[in-house]
Amino acid sequence: MNKELKETILNSLEDIKAVNPVAIDVKNISSLTDFMVIASGTSNRHLAAMSERVLEGLKENNVSGISIEGQGGDEWLLVDAGDVIIHLMSSDAREFYDLESLWDPEL
């Protein structure tokens, strides 16, 4: 289910034109989750729409226990779907925090 969940999330992000979505397998280095998905939005409105689309896709697939942090913020939304954590970020925040290098130095 983890890989299917990751693919569902990536498809949702691609549908809403997320910028450069990336999935990182962290199951061997983190006990929190199996995958981290990181994507950028072009504006605050785009970030909000991305989170709504991801939530819709998760609900359509009967994923429960979803939580979201950072709503109403300008830079970063986090959607916790258990086996997959989704980071939706402005381009500036994504560049500044550089989560890809933190979780996968090869990126």
Specify which residues 19 forms β-bridges with: 40
Domain at 2-100, CATH homologous superfamily: Beta Polymerase, domain 2 (3.30.460.10)
pLDDT at residue 97, as a whole number: 94
* pLDDT-above-70 percentage for the chain: 96
Q: Is 62 a residue whose pLDDT tops 70?
A: yes
pLDDT at residue 78, as a whole number: 95
Tokens found for residue 66: 């979803």
> Measured in whole angstroms, how far is the alpha carbon of residue 86 from the centre of its chain?
2
Share the mean pLDDT of the chain.
90
Tokens found for residue 65: 């226990």
pLDDT per residue over 26-49, tens digit each?
Answer: 988 888 899 999 999 999 999 999
